[in-house]
Amino acid sequence: MRMRAQWSAAELHAALEPVIEEEVAIFLDRTPAAIHLTDPAQTLNREYYIRHRIETVKRIWLTSRTDALALAAMVGVDYEAARMWAPYVSEELGHDLLFLRDLRAYGVSLDDVRATPLFPSTVAMVNQLERDIEAIGALPAVAYSLFVEWNSDRYSERVTAKAERQFGDARERGSRSHLAIDKNESHYATMLKIAAALLHSRSLDELERLIRGISRHFRGYFAELFDETLGRAAV
Ligand SMILES: [Fe+2]
C-alpha cells in the first residue's frame, strides 16, 4: 500500500499520469468508434454526438448529488479541502445549462433531454459512486472529477473543434465556454490539490483503483452509445 502522510499536487500528478494514460489507451483500443470523436480525419457522427451531449447533461444532474454527498463527507475530514471543493462543485452543477444551450441549437429541447432514458452504464457508475462515498467518504467523487477533468484537459478541445468545423461555431458556444472555464479555473490542478489533501487518510492504491473503476464505467458508456447510434445504423 502506497500510504504516506504528505503528497504534493505535483507528485500526485506524476503518479496518476501513467494510470490515466493507460486507461485512455485501453479505451481507444477496445471501444468501437471511440477514436472518431477526436480524429480530425474522420467525420463526427451527428446522432452519436448529440446523444453523447444529452448523456453529458444527465450525468451532470446525477453527479451534482454525489458531489454534494462528497462535500458533506469532506467537511468532517478536511475543511480546507472542502473549501476548494465547494466552489468547484457549485460551478459544475450549473454546467448543464452550457450543454443544454448547445443542444437547443441542434434542435433538442430540455423536455427531450428529460425524456431520454439514461444509459445503464451511467446509472451503474453513479450508484457505485454513491455506495463508495457512503463506505469511504469523499475520495470516490474526487476520483471521478480527476478523471473527467484530465480528459477535458487533453481531449475535449479536439471534440469541440471537430463539432465546430462540421456543425458551425454557433452550435458549440456552450461547449467552448465549458473548455474555457476548465482551463481558466485550472480544474484539473484543483482536483489534484484536493485529492492530495485527502490522501492523508487514504492510499494512492485506493485512488488508482477508483479512477480505474470510473474509467471502466465510461468504456461501458461509450460502448452503449455506439450500440444505440452508429452500431444500430450499421445493422
Ligand atoms: Fe470542470
54: CA distance to ligand 1 center in Å? 17
- Residue 219: helix, strand or coil by DSSP? helix
25: CA distance to ligand 1 center in Å? 22
pLDDT mean across residues, the chain:
94
84: CA distance to ligand 1 center in Å? 13
pLDDT at residue number 195:
97
Name the nearest CA neighbour of 87 among 181, 198, 200. 181
CA distance 59 to 53: 10
Sign of CA dihedral 218, 222, 228, 231: negative
234: CA distance to ligand 1 center in Å? 34
When pLDDT is cut at 50, 70 and 90, the band that residue 6 belongs to is confident
CA distance 45 to 36: 8
92: CA distance to ligand 1 center in Å? 6
221: CA distance to ligand 1 center in Å? 20
pLDDT at residue number 182:
87
Rounded to the nearest 10°, the torsion over CA 31, 144, 208, 225 is: -10
Mean pLDDT of 119-137: 98
Q: What is the pLDDT of residues 31-90, one digit of tens each?
A: 999 889 888 889 999 999 999 999 999 999 999 999 999 999 999 999 999 999 999 999
Report in angstroms the alpha-carbon separations of 13 from 19, 86, 152, 186, 208: 10, 22, 15, 13, 12
45: CA distance to ligand 1 center in Å? 25
Name the nearest CA neighbour of 215 among 53, 81, 31. 31
Mean pLDDT of 198-202: 92
> CA angle 184-202-18, nearest 5°?
55
